[in-house]
Amino acid sequence: MKNIAIFCSGSGSNAEKICVFFSKSKDVNVVLIATNNKKAFVIERAKKFNVPFFVFSKEDLNSFTDLQKKLTEKQVSYVVLAGFLLKIPNIMISTYPKKIINIHPSLLPKYGGKGMYGKNVHQAVLRNKEKKTGVTIHLVNEFYDKGEILFQASCSINKSDDVASLSKKVQLLEHKFYSLTIKKFVS
Ligand code: GRF
């Protein structure tokens, strides 16, 4: 059995999909949802699915002491970032080398890096009149959105698309492929 922890700063629609996907799995268990935002809606989702949750501060993340204790206590072997907005500190990356996975709402290396999250990504994609966009699932290293790519899927952009319609298209891809990619990677 592989135990995974999900890190999330906001709504957690991907976190929910992952919880549902693995709820009957014999190989992968979601043992913790961790957030840096005590008001994040993902906490409601954790309660709904009976997954323990843990709230920590930016300082806790950067010192990686209590958080590491928590991950060790829960025997976490993989960390899944799903809408997590803080930078993962190097100490955590070296504790979990090639074991931290992230999802990004663009076709990396395009539209990645600091400040490129949520609507900012889709706005930039539309501004540049791209013909397609998509989703990238990748490992986390010391550099924002630069780790090894595990999976990408794309969707086309029409003249009528705006930020809202693009967010929806990309979110559909995220919901469809994140859990499957996690399963493939950890097993
Ligand atoms: C997703 O678009 C993901 O690609 C990005 O943050 C968003 C999280 O959405 N990293 P949600 O909280 O899962 O709804």
The answer to whether the CB of 152 falls within 8 A of the CB of 107 is yes
Is residue 119 pLDDT above 90, yes or no?
A: yes
pLDDT of residue 90: 97
Residue 144 is predicted with a pLDDT of 85
User: What's the pLDDT tens digit per position in 3-25?
Assistant: 999 999 999 999 999 999 999 99
- Tens of pLDDT, residues 64-73: 999 999 999 9
Atom of ligand 1 at shortest distance to CA of 17? 13
Please state, in angstroms and rounded to a whole number, the distance separating the CA atoms of residues 41 and 5: 17
Q: Does this model's pTM top 0.85?
A: yes
Tell me what the mean pLDDT of segment 44-56 comes to.
Answer: 97
pLDDT of residue 143: 87
Residue 133 near ligand 1, beta carbon < 6 Å: no
Using CA atoms, how far residue 70 sits from 15, 47, 184, in Å, is 19, 18, 25
| Rg of the chain, C-alpha, whole Å | 16
Of the CA atoms within 13 Å of residue 125, those in its CB half-sphere come to 34
Residues with a known catalytic role: 104
For residue 109, whether the previous peptide bond is cis, meaning omega lies within 30 degrees of 0, is yes
Pocket of ligand 1, candidates 171, 175, 182: which has the most ligand atoms within 8 Å of its Cβ, to mutate? 171
Task: Provide the 10 A C-beta neighbour count for residue 80.
Answer: 28
The mean per-residue pLDDT over the stretch 161-174 comes to 98
- 127-148 pLDDT tens trace: 999 999 999 999 999 988 899 9
- CA–centroid distance, 103 to ligand 1, in Å, is 7
pLDDT at 114: 86
Mean residue pLDDT across the chain: 97
Per-residue pLDDT at 159: 94
pLDDT at residue 41 tops 90: yes
80-89 average pLDDT score: 96
Give residue 125's pLDDT. Answer: 98
Query: How far apart (Å, rounded) are the C-alpha atoms in residues 187 and 170?
Result: 26
Dihedral of alpha carbons 57, 61, 66, 69, sign: positive
Pairing of the two strands 100-104 and 78-81: parallel
C-alpha distances in angstroms, 11 versus 17, 43, 77, 81?
Answer: 12, 9, 24, 13
The structure tokens 């706005």 sit at: 123
Instruction: Please identify, by atom number, the ligand 1 atom nearest to the C-alpha of residue 14.
Output: 13
In this structure, which residue's CA is closest to atom 9 in ligand 1? 83
Q: Is the CB of 174 under 6 A from ligand 1?
A: yes
